[in-house]
Amino acid sequence: MTMYNSLLLQDTYNNVGTEVLLFHDYSLMVLMLILVMFLFFMKIVFKSTKFMLKGYYSSELLEFSWTLVPGLLLISLGVPSLFLMYFMEGATKYDLTMKAIGHQWYWSYEINEFGGELAFDSYMNNEIQNSTYRLLDVDQHVELPYMTKVRVLVSSTDVLHAWALPSMGIKVDACPGRLNLLSIYSFRPGSIFGQCSEICGVNHSFMPIHLEFSDWNNFLKGIVT
Ligand SMILES: [Cu+2]
């Protein structure tokens, strides 16, 4: 997870997050390329003491290229972006299903698997002394197994919320009366944190998300007992 004063993006826990990170770096590279080229040509034009464009009225090659090059740049951004969008949809088969329901202002979770029924509310917990995770820790977090495809059904009971996990590259709206589907898969154990990402009222910033990925034994203990 990210720590205070961190300038970079968070470490990722799944393939989608890694791909999102790579796409971010790539699109930033394209943007920087355009910016540097633009500034470079502006400098040449403004610093020049000669009338460089005197007598220069038309050029088919120039018009063709200043249409084609930006088009190619847009395609080079659009194609990986579309691939990423379909990749984010996730698998079609899942090992587990979890429900995440947004309320003003807390999350509640339900897991009904292997004959066990688990349902609990997850409020922000500020009573932990000297916690590194200020405003991110909750009183009851979600235990999930890692290396497991989990389908998350996201909904809301009152207003729009959004279930977002930055280290997974995931964000989905929680709409009242509607079920949104999301797939998460962590390739390593650990705690990951997120927050509601839709301005949902006065305590919007105090409804964090905390998932802990551990092994199947821990998960089954939590479910069955
Ligand atoms: Cu919210």
19-73 per-position pLDDT tens digit: 999 999 999 999 999 999 999 989 988 888 777 777 778 889 989 999 999 999 9
The domain segmentation of the chain, as residue ranges, is 15-88, 96-224
Report the C-alpha gap between 96 and 48 in whole angstroms: 66
Distance from residue 105's CA to the centre of ligand 1 (Å): 6
Asked if pLDDT for residue 1 goes beyond 70, the answer is no
Distance from residue 119's CA to the centre of ligand 1 (Å): 19
**Among 163, 165, 158, residue whose Cα is nearest residue 202:** 158
Q: What is the pLDDT of residues 115-138, one digit of tens each?
A: 778 888 998 887 766 666 778 888
**In whole angstroms, how large is the CA radius of gyration of the chain?**
24
For the residues 179-195, what does the mean pLDDT come to? 89
The CA distances from residue 205 to 42, 60, 158, 162, in Å, are 44, 55, 16, 12
- pLDDT score recorded for residue 132: 66
The CATH number of the domain covering residues in 96-224: 2.60.40.420
Distance from residue 107's CA to the centre of ligand 1 (Å): 8
Distance from residue 78's CA to the centre of ligand 1 (Å): 31
* 10-14, 155-159, 196-200: segment of lowest average pLDDT: 10-14
Distance from residue 59's CA to the centre of ligand 1 (Å): 55
In what helix (H) or strand (E) does residue 192 lie, and over which residues does it extend? strand 190-196
